[in-house]
Amino acid sequence: TTTTTTTSSVSGDTKNGNGVGEEARGVVLKSNLYRLHVLRAVGRIIGTCLLHSDICPISLCRHVLKYILGRPISWHDLAFFDPVLFQSLQKLMHMRDESPDDIEHVGLTFHITLPQCMGGRDYFLKRNGGNIQVTKVNVHEYVELYTRCILVECVQDELDSIKAGVYDIITQESCGSLTAEDVRLILNGSMKVDVPLLKSVTNFIDEVKERSLFKQMRTWFWEVVGELSDEQQHNLLFFWTSASSMPSTKEGFKMTPTVVIRPASDSHLPTANTCSSRLSIPSYSSKEVLKQKLSLAIQTQAFGFI
Protein backbone atom coordinates (compact mmCIF):
# COMPACT_ATOMS: atom_id res chain seq x y z
CA THR A 1 0.00 0.00 0.00
CA THR A 2 2.81 2.42 0.90
CA THR A 3 4.66 1.63 -2.31
CA THR A 4 1.53 2.23 -4.42
CA THR A 5 0.83 5.59 -2.76
CA THR A 6 4.41 6.77 -3.25
CA THR A 7 4.45 5.74 -6.90
CA SER A 8 1.14 7.48 -7.50
CA SER A 9 2.35 10.77 -6.06
CA VAL A 10 5.51 10.66 -8.16
CA SER A 11 3.55 9.76 -11.28
CA GLY A 12 1.24 12.68 -10.56
CA ASP A 13 4.16 15.09 -10.86
CA THR A 14 5.12 13.53 -14.17
CA LYS A 15 1.59 13.92 -15.50
CA ASN A 16 1.74 17.62 -14.70
CA GLY A 17 4.52 17.82 -17.26
CA ASN A 18 7.20 19.20 -14.95
CA GLY A 19 9.29 16.01 -14.90
CA VAL A 20 9.77 16.13 -11.13
CA GLY A 21 8.54 12.58 -10.67
CA GLU A 22 11.17 11.03 -12.94
CA GLU A 23 13.88 13.19 -11.43
CA ALA A 24 12.88 12.22 -7.89
CA ARG A 25 12.82 8.57 -8.85
CA GLY A 26 16.31 8.90 -10.33
CA VAL A 27 17.61 10.52 -7.15
CA VAL A 28 16.22 7.64 -5.07
CA LEU A 29 17.81 5.05 -7.36
CA LYS A 30 21.16 6.84 -7.27
CA SER A 31 20.94 7.14 -3.50
CA ASN A 32 20.22 3.44 -3.11
CA LEU A 33 23.02 2.52 -5.52
CA TYR A 34 25.45 4.77 -3.67
CA ARG A 35 24.41 3.19 -0.38
CA LEU A 36 25.08 -0.29 -1.73
CA HIS A 37 28.50 0.82 -2.98
CA VAL A 38 29.28 2.17 0.49
CA LEU A 39 28.21 -1.12 2.08
CA ARG A 40 30.41 -3.04 -0.35
CA ALA A 41 33.30 -0.84 0.76
CA VAL A 42 32.40 -1.67 4.37
CA GLY A 43 32.59 -5.34 3.41
CA ARG A 44 36.07 -4.78 1.98
CA ILE A 45 37.17 -3.21 5.26
CA ILE A 46 35.88 -6.26 7.10
CA GLY A 47 37.60 -8.59 4.63
CA THR A 48 40.89 -6.72 5.04
CA CYS A 49 40.65 -6.99 8.84
CA LEU A 50 40.02 -10.73 8.54
CA LEU A 51 42.94 -11.11 6.14
CA HIS A 52 45.39 -9.37 8.46
CA SER A 53 43.79 -10.36 11.81
CA ASP A 54 43.21 -6.68 12.59
CA ILE A 55 40.68 -5.41 15.11
CA CYS A 56 37.75 -3.92 13.19
CA PRO A 57 35.91 -0.83 14.49
CA ILE A 58 32.65 -2.22 13.09
CA SER A 59 30.61 -4.68 15.13
CA LEU A 60 28.12 -6.80 13.18
CA CYS A 61 25.09 -8.68 14.45
CA ARG A 62 25.33 -12.43 14.63
CA HIS A 63 22.93 -13.07 11.75
CA VAL A 64 24.93 -10.76 9.47
CA LEU A 65 28.09 -12.74 10.19
CA LYS A 66 26.21 -15.98 9.54
CA TYR A 67 24.89 -14.60 6.25
CA ILE A 68 28.41 -13.65 5.16
CA LEU A 69 29.63 -17.15 6.04
CA GLY A 70 26.68 -18.81 4.30
CA ARG A 71 25.44 -20.40 7.53
CA PRO A 72 21.72 -21.09 8.14
CA ILE A 73 19.90 -18.33 10.02
CA SER A 74 17.25 -19.44 12.51
CA TRP A 75 14.67 -17.57 14.56
CA HIS A 76 16.93 -17.87 17.62
CA ASP A 77 19.33 -15.42 15.94
CA LEU A 78 16.66 -12.75 16.35
CA ALA A 79 17.50 -12.66 20.07
CA PHE A 80 20.82 -10.97 19.26
CA PHE A 81 19.16 -8.38 17.00
CA ASP A 82 15.83 -7.52 18.62
CA PRO A 83 15.38 -9.14 22.05
CA VAL A 84 11.88 -7.68 22.51
CA LEU A 85 10.56 -9.08 19.23
CA PHE A 86 12.28 -12.38 19.94
CA GLN A 87 10.53 -12.66 23.30
CA SER A 88 7.17 -12.01 21.63
CA LEU A 89 7.74 -14.80 19.12
CA GLN A 90 9.09 -17.03 21.86
CA LYS A 91 5.81 -16.61 23.76
CA LEU A 92 3.99 -17.92 20.68
CA MET A 93 6.23 -20.96 20.62
CA HIS A 94 5.62 -21.59 24.32
CA MET A 95 1.90 -21.18 23.73
CA ARG A 96 2.10 -23.96 21.15
CA ASP A 97 3.45 -26.31 23.81
CA GLU A 98 1.33 -25.15 26.77
CA SER A 99 -2.01 -23.97 25.34
CA PRO A 100 -1.99 -24.60 21.58
CA ASP A 101 -5.67 -23.85 21.04
CA ASP A 102 -5.18 -20.28 22.26
CA ILE A 103 -2.92 -19.41 19.31
CA GLU A 104 -5.88 -18.99 16.98
CA HIS A 105 -7.45 -16.52 19.41
CA VAL A 106 -4.49 -14.17 18.96
CA GLY A 107 -5.76 -13.42 15.46
CA LEU A 108 -2.47 -13.55 13.56
CA THR A 109 -2.14 -14.21 9.85
CA PHE A 110 0.81 -14.58 7.49
CA HIS A 111 0.46 -10.88 6.67
CA ILE A 112 2.55 -8.48 8.77
CA THR A 113 3.33 -4.79 8.90
CA LEU A 114 7.03 -4.06 9.14
CA PRO A 115 8.39 -1.71 11.84
CA GLN A 116 8.73 1.94 10.81
CA CYS A 117 12.53 1.64 10.87
CA MET A 118 12.16 -0.91 8.06
CA GLY A 119 9.74 1.12 6.01
CA GLY A 120 6.47 0.32 7.78
CA ARG A 121 5.07 -1.43 4.70
CA ASP A 122 2.84 -4.47 4.50
CA TYR A 123 4.53 -7.79 3.88
CA PHE A 124 3.08 -11.20 3.04
CA LEU A 125 5.05 -14.09 4.49
CA LYS A 126 3.25 -16.49 2.15
CA ARG A 127 1.16 -16.12 -0.97
CA ASN A 128 -2.30 -14.87 0.08
CA GLY A 129 -0.87 -14.64 3.60
CA GLY A 130 -3.66 -12.36 4.76
CA ASN A 131 -6.08 -15.26 4.41
CA ILE A 132 -3.91 -17.81 6.23
CA GLN A 133 -4.48 -17.88 9.96
CA VAL A 134 -1.66 -18.76 12.35
CA THR A 135 -2.53 -21.97 14.21
CA LYS A 136 -0.82 -24.50 16.41
CA VAL A 137 0.06 -26.43 13.25
CA ASN A 138 1.84 -23.65 11.36
CA VAL A 139 3.03 -21.36 14.17
CA HIS A 140 6.63 -22.58 13.86
CA GLU A 141 6.58 -21.82 10.13
CA TYR A 142 5.17 -18.37 10.91
CA VAL A 143 7.97 -17.64 13.38
CA GLU A 144 10.67 -18.83 10.97
CA LEU A 145 9.25 -16.84 8.04
CA TYR A 146 8.77 -13.74 10.20
CA THR A 147 12.38 -13.97 11.37
CA ARG A 148 13.65 -14.55 7.83
CA CYS A 149 11.74 -11.48 6.68
CA ILE A 150 13.17 -9.21 9.39
CA LEU A 151 16.74 -10.47 9.36
CA VAL A 152 17.29 -11.18 5.68
CA GLU A 153 14.63 -10.44 3.08
CA CYS A 154 14.04 -6.80 4.05
CA VAL A 155 17.75 -6.05 3.73
CA GLN A 156 18.77 -8.63 1.12
CA ASP A 157 20.53 -6.14 -1.18
CA GLU A 158 22.45 -4.60 1.71
CA LEU A 159 23.58 -7.98 3.02
CA ASP A 160 24.63 -9.08 -0.45
CA SER A 161 26.70 -5.91 -0.89
CA ILE A 162 28.56 -6.41 2.42
CA LYS A 163 29.14 -10.08 1.62
CA ALA A 164 30.44 -9.27 -1.87
CA GLY A 165 32.84 -6.72 -0.37
CA VAL A 166 34.23 -9.25 2.11
CA TYR A 167 34.92 -11.77 -0.66
CA ASP A 168 36.51 -9.12 -2.84
CA ILE A 169 39.40 -9.40 -0.36
CA ILE A 170 39.39 -13.00 0.86
CA THR A 171 38.10 -16.30 -0.51
CA GLN A 172 35.04 -18.08 0.81
CA GLU A 173 37.16 -21.20 1.28
CA SER A 174 39.34 -19.35 3.81
CA CYS A 175 36.27 -18.93 6.05
CA GLY A 176 34.94 -22.44 5.51
CA SER A 177 35.63 -23.69 9.05
CA LEU A 178 34.79 -20.48 10.89
CA THR A 179 31.64 -19.85 12.91
CA ALA A 180 30.00 -16.48 13.49
CA GLU A 181 31.54 -16.45 16.97
CA ASP A 182 35.01 -17.09 15.50
CA VAL A 183 34.66 -14.19 13.07
CA ARG A 184 33.37 -11.86 15.78
CA LEU A 185 36.36 -12.72 17.99
CA ILE A 186 38.81 -12.08 15.14
CA LEU A 187 37.16 -8.82 14.13
CA ASN A 188 36.27 -7.34 17.51
CA GLY A 189 38.50 -9.15 19.97
CA SER A 190 37.38 -9.71 23.54
CA MET A 191 36.45 -7.26 26.28
CA LYS A 192 38.11 -9.63 28.75
CA VAL A 193 41.89 -9.39 28.80
CA ASP A 194 43.70 -12.68 28.21
CA VAL A 195 46.60 -12.13 30.60
CA PRO A 196 48.62 -15.22 29.50
CA LEU A 197 48.32 -14.11 25.85
CA LEU A 198 49.28 -10.54 26.75
CA LYS A 199 52.23 -11.83 28.76
CA SER A 200 53.43 -13.97 25.84
CA VAL A 201 53.68 -10.99 23.46
CA THR A 202 55.01 -8.32 25.85
CA ASN A 203 58.63 -7.15 25.74
CA PHE A 204 60.47 -5.49 28.63
CA ILE A 205 63.16 -2.84 28.33
CA ASP A 206 65.64 -2.29 31.17
CA GLU A 207 66.53 1.37 31.77
CA VAL A 208 67.54 0.69 35.35
CA LYS A 209 70.71 -1.22 34.45
CA GLU A 210 70.37 -3.25 37.62
CA ARG A 211 69.47 -6.82 36.71
CA SER A 212 67.97 -7.91 40.02
CA LEU A 213 65.76 -4.82 40.33
CA PHE A 214 64.64 -5.19 36.71
CA LYS A 215 63.64 -8.84 37.24
CA GLN A 216 61.85 -7.94 40.48
CA MET A 217 59.81 -5.21 38.77
CA ARG A 218 58.88 -7.54 35.92
CA THR A 219 57.67 -10.17 38.39
CA TRP A 220 55.73 -7.62 40.42
CA PHE A 221 54.12 -6.20 37.28
CA TRP A 222 52.53 -9.49 36.20
CA GLU A 223 51.48 -10.30 39.75
CA VAL A 224 49.74 -6.92 40.00
CA VAL A 225 48.08 -7.36 36.59
CA GLY A 226 46.76 -10.74 37.72
CA GLU A 227 45.28 -9.18 40.86
CA LEU A 228 43.40 -6.44 38.99
CA SER A 229 39.68 -6.79 38.35
CA ASP A 230 38.42 -7.46 34.82
CA GLU A 231 37.47 -3.80 34.47
CA GLN A 232 40.90 -2.66 35.67
CA GLN A 233 42.64 -5.04 33.27
CA HIS A 234 40.56 -3.60 30.43
CA ASN A 235 41.45 -0.07 31.56
CA LEU A 236 45.12 -1.05 31.63
CA LEU A 237 44.95 -2.37 28.07
CA PHE A 238 43.27 0.85 26.94
CA PHE A 239 45.73 3.07 28.84
CA TRP A 240 48.67 1.09 27.47
CA THR A 241 47.66 0.54 23.82
CA SER A 242 44.45 2.61 23.28
CA ALA A 243 42.81 -0.67 22.20
CA SER A 244 39.24 -1.04 23.43
CA SER A 245 39.34 -4.84 23.10
CA MET A 246 41.83 -7.68 23.39
CA PRO A 247 43.03 -9.30 20.13
CA SER A 248 42.25 -13.01 19.97
CA THR A 249 45.68 -14.08 18.66
CA LYS A 250 49.31 -12.96 18.75
CA GLU A 251 48.95 -11.85 15.15
CA GLY A 252 46.30 -9.38 16.27
CA PHE A 253 48.93 -7.27 18.05
CA LYS A 254 50.24 -5.02 15.29
CA MET A 255 52.40 -3.16 17.81
CA THR A 256 54.29 -5.33 20.29
CA PRO A 257 53.28 -4.26 23.82
CA THR A 258 56.36 -3.02 25.65
CA VAL A 259 57.04 -2.22 29.29
CA VAL A 260 59.95 0.09 30.08
CA ILE A 261 61.33 -0.24 33.61
CA ARG A 262 62.68 3.20 34.49
CA PRO A 263 64.88 4.48 37.36
CA ALA A 264 63.42 4.47 40.86
CA SER A 265 60.83 7.07 41.90
CA ASP A 266 57.84 6.55 44.17
CA SER A 267 56.58 10.05 43.35
CA HIS A 268 55.86 9.44 39.65
CA LEU A 269 52.96 7.63 38.00
CA PRO A 270 53.31 5.17 35.13
CA THR A 271 52.99 6.77 31.69
CA ALA A 272 52.07 5.33 28.30
CA ASN A 273 52.77 6.03 24.64
CA THR A 274 49.82 4.43 22.92
CA CYS A 275 51.21 5.03 19.43
CA SER A 276 53.91 2.45 20.14
CA SER A 277 52.06 0.49 22.87
CA ARG A 278 54.79 1.39 25.34
CA LEU A 279 54.16 1.51 29.10
CA SER A 280 56.81 3.21 31.24
CA ILE A 281 56.96 2.30 34.93
CA PRO A 282 59.40 3.72 37.53
CA SER A 283 61.13 1.17 39.73
CA TYR A 284 58.91 1.39 42.79
CA SER A 285 60.01 0.50 46.27
CA SER A 286 57.40 -2.24 46.70
CA LYS A 287 54.73 -4.25 44.91
CA GLU A 288 52.07 -2.38 46.89
CA VAL A 289 53.29 0.99 45.62
CA LEU A 290 53.33 -0.37 42.06
CA LYS A 291 49.72 -1.55 42.36
CA GLN A 292 48.59 1.76 43.87
CA LYS A 293 50.30 3.90 41.22
CA LEU A 294 49.23 1.69 38.30
CA SER A 295 45.62 1.54 39.52
CA LEU A 296 45.56 5.33 39.72
CA ALA A 297 47.16 5.87 36.31
CA ILE A 298 44.83 3.57 34.37
CA GLN A 299 41.83 5.61 35.43
CA THR A 300 42.90 8.16 32.82
CA GLN A 301 40.50 8.20 29.89
CA ALA A 302 42.01 11.19 28.08
CA PHE A 303 45.15 11.34 25.97
CA GLY A 304 47.58 14.10 25.04
CA PHE A 305 50.96 14.66 23.46
CA ILE A 306 54.16 14.99 25.47
Active site residues: 275
DSSP state string for 250-266 = GGG-SS--EEEEEEE-T
Q: How far apart are the first and last CA of the chain?
A: 62
6 torsion bin: left (phi>0), alpha (psi -120 to 50), beta (else):
alpha
Contacts of 115 (CB under 8 A, 6+ apart): none
Alpha-carbon distances of 254 from 52, 54, 195, rounded to whole Å: 9, 8, 17
Residues 183, 60: Cα–Cα separation, whole Å: 10
Residues 82, 91: Cα–Cα separation, whole Å: 14
Contacts of 79 (CB under 8 A, 6+ apart): 86
